[in-house]
Amino acid sequence: MSIGFGSSLAGLVIPIVGSFVVVTARQLVTVLAILPFYRPKRAELTWRRLWPALALGVVLAVMNLAFYESVHLLGLGIAATIEFLGPIVLALATSRRLLDVVCVLAAGGGVMLLIGPGSSDASAIDPWGLALALTAAASWAAYIVLTRRVAVGLPGLEGLTVASIVSLALLLPFAVVTFDPAAVDWRVAGLLLGVGVLASALPYSLDTFILRRITPRLFAIITSFGPVIAALFGWLVLAETFTIVEIAAILIVCGAAFTAIATQRERPSSDLERTAAGLA
């Protein structure tokens, strides 16, 4: 809910200040929110523990920039649905079940339906926006894997702190070049702050604690209805409209994801777990 609402606010402010400024503002708010409380200890920052956080910072920059640009070009509902292909593929990457093949085909069919002739404005589907949404999808899959690695390797939110600083450092030069001070007033500043809190600081902090306690598969189940929430906020905040075909396509993608991921069985990760599974 937080990410969906924050993304809809971003959709309002991107045409005013541009994607680089919005994404940079997100990362700046995150750094300011967590750095005072979760400052990494130098003695613990060995390369083995640090490199996943550095990689996560790069992924955050690419994922957020690609997603927001795709939102600007495609709309929030369509961009969020395409982006969700990332967690689906991640959850099913090691599966060999026929049901999973069917679900992947259904999800792909849902996306094709979403951007195909039955969509409200199929002729205006921007190829560059589509490519960016797919880039965001791949980045989201990498984000889940790296966030879990960072959460296990570094205490608290120290890993997220490092990742946010890296992401901010990568984005800041581009934001400075594209920033237009004349376009910023109190309303725009308030929207940028809201985007930073709702789309980055709050959900990314929660993700770190959540992925320390549950598997990426269960995380994907919990977020499987993300495109529906994004479409809802796109309708409420951005006045986006959807045809019956587009609504059906979004529901097909979500339903395929939930079915495939929810029916997976966890693989025992230790001899004790394998023995317990055999006795069950």
Please give the full DSSP string across 121-154, using - where no structure is assigned.
Answer: TGGG--HHHHHHHHHHHHHHHHHHHHHHHHHHHS
What pLDDT digit, counting tens, does each position of 100-130 carry? 778 878 888 888 887 776 555 544 577 888 8
| Annotated domain spans of the chain | 2-265
Amino acid present at 213: R
For 11-25, 66-80, 85-99, 155-169, which range has the lowest pLDDT when averaged over its residues? 85-99
Query: Looking at residue 55, what is its pLDDT?
Result: 92
Q: In angstroms, rounded to a whole number, what is the distance separating the alpha carbons of residues 70 and 132? A: 6
Amino acid present at 165: I
Please give the full DSSP string across 157-207, using - where no structure is assigned.
Answer: THHHHHHHHHHHHHHHHHHHHH--GGG--HHHHHHHHHHHIIIIIHHHHHH
Residue 143 has pLDDT above 70, yes or no: yes
Query: Looking at residue 225, what is its pLDDT?
Result: 79
What mean pLDDT, rounded, does the chain reach? 81
Query: Looking at residue 59, what is its pLDDT?
Result: 94
pTM for the full model? 0.77
Residue 85 has pLDDT above 80, yes or no: yes
Highest average pLDDT, of 62-76, 207-221, 249-263, comes from: 62-76
Query: Looking at residue 272, what is its pLDDT?
Result: 42
Q: In angstroms, rounded to a whole number, what is the distance separating the alpha carbons of residues 58 and 277? A: 39
Residue 75 has pLDDT above 60, yes or no: yes
And the tokens for 161? 């702190």
136 or 221, greater pLDDT: 136
Query: Looking at residue 167, what is its pLDDT?
Result: 92
Q: In angstroms, rounded to a whole number, what is the distance separating the alpha carbons of residues 166 and 179? A: 20
Name the CA dihedral angle for 8, 11, 17, 19, rounded to a multiple of 10 degrees.
100
What single-letter DSSP state applies at residue 269? -
Residue 279 has pLDDT above 50, yes or no: no
Query: Looking at residue 118, what is its pLDDT?
Result: 53
Residue 280 has pLDDT above 80, yes or no: no
Asked if residue 256 lies in contact with residue 103, where contact means CB atoms within 8 angstroms, the answer is yes
Question: Using 50, 70 and 90 to split pLDDT, how confident is the model at 65?
Answer: very high
Query: Looking at residue 211, what is its pLDDT?
Result: 74
Residue 275 has pLDDT above 60, yes or no: no
For 72-76, 110-114, 142-146, which range has the lowest pLDDT when averaged over its residues? 110-114
Q: In angstroms, rounded to a whole number, what is the distance separating the alpha carbons of residues 215 and 72? A: 32
DSSP H helical ranges for 18-154: 19-34, 47-74, 76-83, 85-92, 98-115, 127-153
